Chains A and B, each alone.
Chain A
Amino acid sequence: MSASTQTSPWPRNGAYLAMAAAIFAFPLLVGNAFHIHIAQTLLYTTIAVIGLNMLLGLSGQMSLGQAGFYAIGAYASALLTAKLGWPIAAGMLAGAALAGLAGCLVGLVALRTRGLYLAMATLAFGFMTEIAAQRWIDLTGGTMGVYGVPALDFGSAKMGKTYFLWVVGSVYLAVQIASDYVMSSRIRRKLLALKENESAARTTGINVPLWRTTTFAVSSLAAGTAGVFFTHQNAYINSDAFTLSLTLTMLIATVIGGLGASWGPLIGTLITLMIAELIASLYDVSFLVNGLILLGVLLLFPQGAIGLVYKLAALFRAPQRTGSAAVVEAAAQRAFTPVAAPAASGPTLVIENVSKSYGGVVAVMKVSLSVDRGTVHALIGPNGAGKSTLINCVSGLYRADSGRIRLAGKDVSTLPAHARARMGLARTFQNLQLVNSLTVMENLQLGLRSRRSIVGDFCAWLLSDAFEAEERGRALDILQQLGMAHLASAFPEDLPYGHRKLAELARAIAEEPSVMLLDEPVAGLNDREAQDIAGLIRRIRDAGTSILLVEHNMDFVMQLADRVTVLDHGERIAEGAPSEVQKDPRVVEAYLGAPLEPATLAAAETAS
C-alpha cells in the first residue's frame, strides 16, 4: 500500500485484462437473461459505489443523498428520451452530466458544513429529490412512473442484454482504473490531507474548497451514471426506486467492501447484492437484516472485506523493516543541493503594521518587519507574545485585521493560504500539522511540486514501473539531509515529537520555497540535532531563501539570525542584530531572564 516502494504496473494491468475478459465472456458462457441482468446491476451499482468510496474514503465527506443524484440521472435520461425523443446516448450523457452538475451545486452549499452537518444537509437533499419524484406527478409520473423509456438493446432483442453488459462493463472498467489511479497518486495524498488536516492541506498549496466541490461533483457524476444505466436497463422507472434505502445500500456496500480500498466497491456491491437477493423474501425485515450486517462488519472487520484480505495476507508475510537499507544508501550518494530561490531586489517578505485580535483580546499589535532575500530573521518573545499568530497571518491561515503582507513585492494580504503557498511561501507549525494516515515520505511528496501534467502522471502510473520514482528520490534526498531516510515509510504518529518536527521541516523544504516560516523548528531536538539543523538552514538561506524563524533555543537563534525582532504582548519591543538585542534590558526582563543560578531556584522553591 505504501507508495515508497517501486512496483511493476503489470500485475495490476493483468487484473484489468482478466476483468475485461470475464465481462466479455460472462454473457456468452452464462446465457441466462436473469443472471446477465444481475451482472449489469452489479457493474453499474459499483460505479456509484466507487464514487461514494472516493468521497467518503478519501475526502472524508459523508453523503446521505446519493440516491438523489442517481434519481436525477435516471429521470433526466428517461424524460429526455421518452418525452422529447432524444437518442438514448444523448439522453444518458445529459442525465449523467446533470447529476454531476447537481452534485457541484450541493457540494458548493456543503462547503460550509462538515461531518455530521454535511450528512444532514445531503440527507435533506436526498429526501427532497425523493419527494419530488413522488409528488411532481406531471413530470415524473410519481409512483406510476415514466412509460415509453427506450431500452438500450442495440436493436437486437436476442443480443441486446449482452451488448448492454459489455457497455456497462467498459464504463465500469474505465471508472475502476480512474479510481485506482486516484488512490495511488498525488490525488490520494491531497484528498487525505484535506480530510485529515486542513491546515496542512492549505499551506502546502491545496485549494481546499475547489477539491471538496470537485470530489462531490465526481461522486454525483458516478451516481448519475449508475442512474442512467438503471433507466435504460429496465425501460421503465418510478419513484419507488429512489428512496433512502438505495443510499443506504450504497453506503453499506462501500463500508463492507472497505473504505478507501481499490477493489472494495466491487466486492462490497457484490456482497450487498447477494444478501439483497437472499433476503428478498424477507421484505418486511430486510432493513433490519441489512442493519445487522453493517453493524457486524463494523465490529468484526472495521477495514471491510478488503481489510480482512490484507490482514490474512499479512499473516503469511514476514514483517517488513521500515525503510530498506539499499534505498537509504542510494540517497546517501546523491548530494542535496537546496534549490536556488529566484533572484529579487529588495526584501522578499514585508510585514507592515499587521494587527490581529480575537474577540477583543489583542494578539498582535501593529507589527512591522521585513526579511531580505537569503537572510534569517528571528522572531522571539515569551510564550503568548503573538509570534505564532503573526506567522498564521503571514501564511494566510488567519486574515489580519489590518496591515499588509507583501511577498516578493506583491501584496498578498487578501490571498488565501494555498495561493500564498504556490507563490513560494512554505511553513512549519509549532503544534505539528502532519497527515497521520500518510507516511513520512508521502507527507513530503505533498510538498513537492509535481513536474508532470495529470495526463502524463496517469500514463506513468499505468505503464511505467518507476511511477513517482523521481519524486521519491527528491524526497529521500531531503530526508537524508535531516538524518531521517530510515524513517521514510514510518507513519508520523509512531515517531517521537522531534522527528515529527523534522518531517514537517522536510515537507517545507520540499516545496522549494522562496520564503520559509519556521515555527520552533528545533523544539524537541537535542543540542546536537539542533546543530545539524542550523547547518541545513544556513545552506537553504545561502541558496537565497528568506527565513522567518520563531524559536526559543537562544543558542540556535543567536548563531543563525541576521536580525532579531522581539515581541511581547503582541507588540514589537526591540529589533536589531542578535548581539544588540541580547543586551537590551527590556528583552532580558521580558524574555531571557536571569541565568539558572542556585539563588533563582531557592526563590522558586520558597514560592512553591
Chain B
Amino acid sequence: MIALEKVSAGIGRVQILRQVDLAVEPGKLVLVLGANGAGKTTLLRVISGVVPLWSGEVRFAGEPIAGRPAHELARLGLVHVPQGRQIIPNLSVEENLLIGASHLPGIGKDEIARRLEQEYARFPVLKTRRRLAGGSLSGGEQQMLAVSRGLMMAPKLIMLDEPSLGLAPQMVRRILGALAGLARNGISVLLVEQKSMAIEIADRVHVLKNGAIVHSAAAADVRDHEELFKHYMG
C-alpha cells in the first residue's frame, strides 16, 4: 500500500530521518516503535507531505507522492491522525466527524450517513455524545473521535501518531482493539508508538532510533518485549 525507499528528511538544516526503508502491505498493521526524538512523528509527516523529503522515494499504491498537498493525499485514501488529536473543541462530535468526509468530491448524502453510522457502531460512546462539543469529551473519547474522523474519509491507509498518549490502560486496549479490527477489514494501518503493548496487535514491528530503522521483525517473532526495549529504546 505504501512503500518508503531510502527516505532521508529533516527540519531546517537538521537531518532527522536517515535512509528509512519501510512498507505496509494492504490490510496489515505495521508498528514503528521509537523513543522521544527518534523521528517517529517526522516519519509520518514526511509521508503526509508536511515535512519535505530530502532524498529517497515515497510511493502510495505504486505512485510517487512526494510534494503532493495533504488534502490531495486524503482524497487518494491516505489519512494521518496526528498526535494530540486536533479535535475542534467548539464543534459537536457529529460536526467533527462530518468534517472528515464533507469536502470529499463525489460522495453523496447517503454514503456520508452510512459512514457515520459505521463509526457510531465502531465507537458507540460517540453516538451517545453526538450533540456534545468535541472539547467536552474525555481524552479517550477524543482519541476515538480523531480515529473515526480519519475513517470517515474511507482511507486505504491510516497513520496514527501515538494514539495511546495520556489514555487510561483500559482505554488504550479499546483503541488498539479497534485498530486491529481495521486491519482485519482490509485497511492498512501505520502505527507509531513508544509503548510495547501495541506489539500485540501488529503484524510487523520496526524500531526507529536516531532516525534510522535499527531492527525489524514479524510481531509474532518478538517474544521478549523487555529485551527489545533494553536494546533499542534507551
Tell me the A residues contacting B by CB distance below 8 Å.
319, 381-384, 430, 494-499, 520, 523-529, 552, 554, 591-593, 596, 600-601, 603-605, 607-608
Q: For B40, what are the chain A residues with a Cβ–Cβ distance below 8 Å? A: 496
11 contacts between A and B (CB under 8 A): A383-B167, A497-B162, A520-B166, A526-B194, A526-B233, A528-B35, A529-B35, A601-B201, A608-B122, A608-B177, A608-B181
Q: How far is the CA of A604 from the CA of B172 in the complex (A)?
A: 12
Known: A383-B140, A529-B36. A605 touches B177 (CB 8 A): yes
Tell me the B residues contacting A by CB distance below 8 Å.
11, 13, 35-37, 40-41, 83-84, 121-122, 137-141, 162, 165-171, 173-174, 176-178, 180-182, 184-185, 194-197, 200-201, 229, 233-234
**Main DSSP-derived SS at the B contact region:** helix
Q: How far is the CA of A552 from the CA of B197 in the complex (A)?
A: 14
Minimum CB–CB distance from A214 to chain B (whole Å) comes to 33
Q: For A526, what are the chain B residues with a Cβ–Cβ distance below 8 Å? A: 35-36, 194-195, 229, 233
Q: For B137, what are the chain A residues with a Cβ–Cβ distance below 8 Å? A: 384
Partner of A383, one of B11, B168, B177: B168
Q: How far is the CA of A591 from the CA of B167 in the complex (A)?
A: 11
The 7 residue pairs across chains A and B that have the minimum distance between CB atoms: A604-B177, A384-B138, A593-B170, A608-B181, A498-B36, A383-B138, A383-B139
Please tell me if the beta carbons of B13 and A319 are within 8 angstroms of each other in the complex: yes
Please tell me if the beta carbons of B184 and A528 are within 8 angstroms of each other in the complex: no
Partner of A596, one of B41, B200, B229: B200
Query: Given known contacts A384-B139, A604-B173, what 14 new A-B pairs fall within 8 Å (CB)?
Result: A382-B168, A383-B167, A497-B162, A498-B36, A520-B166, A524-B36, A526-B229, A529-B35, A591-B169, A592-B170, A593-B173, A601-B200, A607-B181, A608-B181
Q: For A600, what are the chain B residues with a Cβ–Cβ distance below 8 Å? A: 173, 177
Q: For A601, what are the chain B residues with a Cβ–Cβ distance below 8 Å? A: 176-177, 180, 200-201
Known: A552-B166, A605-B181, A608-B178. A382 touches B140 (CB 8 A): yes
Please tell me if the beta carbons of B234 and A382 are within 8 angstroms of each other in the complex: no
Minimum CB–CB distance from A457 to chain B (whole Å) comes to 34
Q: How far is the CA of A525 from the CA of B83 in the complex (A)?
A: 14
Minimum CB–CB distance from A128 to chain B (whole Å) comes to 35
Please tell me if the beta carbons of B141 and A384 are within 8 angstroms of each other in the complex: yes
Q: For A384, what are the chain B residues with a Cβ–Cβ distance below 8 Å? A: 137-141
Q: How far is the CA of A593 from the CA of B180 in the complex (A)?
A: 18
Smallest Cβ-Cβ distance to A496: which chain B residue: B36
Q: How far is the CA of A152 from the CA of B162 in the complex (A)?
A: 69
Q: For A497, what are the chain B residues with a Cβ–Cβ distance below 8 Å? A: 36, 83-84, 162, 165
Please tell me if the beta carbons of A604 and B169 are within 8 angstroms of each other in the complex: no
Smallest Cβ-Cβ distance to B83: which chain A residue: A497
Q: For B174, what are the chain A residues with a Cβ–Cβ distance below 8 Å? A: 604
Partner of A525, one of B138, B170, B194: B194
Please tell me if the beta carbons of A554 and B37 are within 8 angstroms of each other in the complex: no
Partner of A591, one of B36, B37, B170, B201: B170
Q: How far is the CA of A496 from the CA of B40 in the complex (A)?
A: 9
Please tell me if the beta carbons of A527 and B229 are within 8 angstroms of each other in the complex: yes
Minimum CB–CB distance from B234 to chain A (whole Å) comes to 5
Q: For A604, what are the chain B residues with a Cβ–Cβ distance below 8 Å? A: 173-174, 177-178, 180-181
Q: For A592, what are the chain B residues with a Cβ–Cβ distance below 8 Å? A: 169-170
Known: A527-B196, A529-B36. A382 touches B181 (CB 8 A): no
Partner of B169, one of A494, A523, A552, A605: A552
Please tell me if the beta carbons of B233 and A524 are within 8 angstroms of each other in the complex: no
Please tell me if the beta carbons of A383 and B162 are within 8 angstroms of each other in the complex: no
Minimum CB–CB distance from A188 to chain B (whole Å) comes to 25
Smallest Cβ-Cβ distance to B183: which chain A residue: A605
Smallest Cβ-Cβ distance to B35: which chain A residue: A526
Q: How far is the CA of A377 from the CA of B121 in the complex (A)?
A: 39
Partner of B171, one of A319, A382, A495, A554: A382
Q: For B169, what are the chain A residues with a Cβ–Cβ distance below 8 Å? A: 552, 554, 591-593
Smallest Cβ-Cβ distance to A430: which chain B residue: B166
Partner of A524, one of B165, B177, B197, B234: B165
Q: How far is the CA of A528 from the CA of B209 in the complex (A)?
A: 14
Smallest Cβ-Cβ distance to B119: which chain A residue: A608
Minimum CB–CB distance from A523 to chain B (whole Å) comes to 4
Q: For A525, what are the chain B residues with a Cβ–Cβ distance below 8 Å? A: 36, 194
Q: For B122, what are the chain A residues with a Cβ–Cβ distance below 8 Å? A: 607-608
Q: For A520, what are the chain B residues with a Cβ–Cβ distance below 8 Å? A: 166
Q: How far is the CA of A118 from the CA of B197 in the complex (A)?
A: 50
Minimum CB–CB distance from A48 to chain B (whole Å) comes to 38
Q: How far is the CA of A66 from the CA of B114 in the complex (A)?
A: 58
Smallest Cβ-Cβ distance to B194: which chain A residue: A526
Most buried by B among A430, A496, A593: A496
Q: For A591, what are the chain B residues with a Cβ–Cβ distance below 8 Å? A: 168-170
Q: How far is the CA of A430 from the CA of B122 in the complex (A)?
A: 27
Please tell me if the beta carbons of B138 and A382 are within 8 angstroms of each other in the complex: yes
Minimum CB–CB distance from A81 to chain B (whole Å) comes to 56
Q: For B234, what are the chain A residues with a Cβ–Cβ distance below 8 Å? A: 528
Most buried by A among B11, B141, B169, B176: B169
Minimum CB–CB distance from B232 to chain A (whole Å) comes to 10
Smallest Cβ-Cβ distance to A552: which chain B residue: B168
Minimum CB–CB distance from A360 to chain B (whole Å) comes to 12
Q: For A552, what are the chain B residues with a Cβ–Cβ distance below 8 Å? A: 166-169
Q: How far is the CA of A554 from the CA of B13 in the complex (A)?
A: 39
Smallest Cβ-Cβ distance to A520: which chain B residue: B166
Please tell me if the beta carbons of B171 and A383 are within 8 angstroms of each other in the complex: yes
Most buried by A among B165, B184, B194, B200: B194
Minimum CB–CB distance from B206 to chain A (whole Å) comes to 15
Q: How far is the CA of A554 from the CA of B168 in the complex (A)?
A: 9
Q: For B168, what are the chain A residues with a Cβ–Cβ distance below 8 Å? A: 381-383, 552, 591
Partner of B170, one of A382, A494, A495, A607: A382
Minimum CB–CB distance from A320 to chain B (whole Å) comes to 10
Q: For B162, what are the chain A residues with a Cβ–Cβ distance below 8 Å? A: 497, 524
Smallest Cβ-Cβ distance to B200: which chain A residue: A596
Q: How far is the CA of A573 from the CA of B138 in the complex (A)?
A: 19
Minimum CB–CB distance from A485 to chain B (whole Å) comes to 14
Minimum CB–CB distance from B40 to chain A (whole Å) comes to 8
Q: For B139, what are the chain A residues with a Cβ–Cβ distance below 8 Å? A: 383-384
Minimum CB–CB distance from A559 to chain B (whole Å) comes to 15
Q: How far is the CA of A529 from the CA of B34 in the complex (A)?
A: 12
Q: For A496, what are the chain B residues with a Cβ–Cβ distance below 8 Å? A: 36-37, 40-41
Q: How far is the CA of A527 from the CA of B230 in the complex (A)?
A: 10
Q: For B195, what are the chain A residues with a Cβ–Cβ distance below 8 Å? A: 526-527
Most buried by A among B40, B173, B197: B173
Smallest Cβ-Cβ distance to A604: which chain B residue: B177
Q: For A528, what are the chain B residues with a Cβ–Cβ distance below 8 Å? A: 35, 229, 233-234
Q: How far is the CA of A384 from the CA of B195 in the complex (A)?
A: 22
Minimum CB–CB distance from A207 to chain B (whole Å) comes to 29
Q: How far is the CA of A605 from the CA of B84 in the complex (A)?
A: 25
Q: How far is the CA of A325 from the CA of B189 in the complex (A)?
A: 40
Q: How far is the CA of A107 from the CA of B206 in the complex (A)?
A: 57
Minimum CB–CB distance from A263 to chain B (whole Å) comes to 27
Smallest Cβ-Cβ distance to B39: which chain A residue: A496
Q: How far is the CA of A384 from the CA of B181 in the complex (A)?
A: 25
Minimum CB–CB distance from A549 to chain B (whole Å) comes to 14
Q: How far is the CA of A203 from the CA of B71 in the complex (A)?
A: 40
Smallest Cβ-Cβ distance to B180: which chain A residue: A601
Minimum CB–CB distance from A177 to chain B (whole Å) comes to 35
Q: For B11, what are the chain A residues with a Cβ–Cβ distance below 8 Å? A: 494
Q: For A607, what are the chain B residues with a Cβ–Cβ distance below 8 Å? A: 121-122, 177, 181
Q: How far is the CA of A161 from the CA of B234 in the complex (A)?
A: 71
Q: How far is the CA of A381 from the CA of B138 in the complex (A)?
A: 12
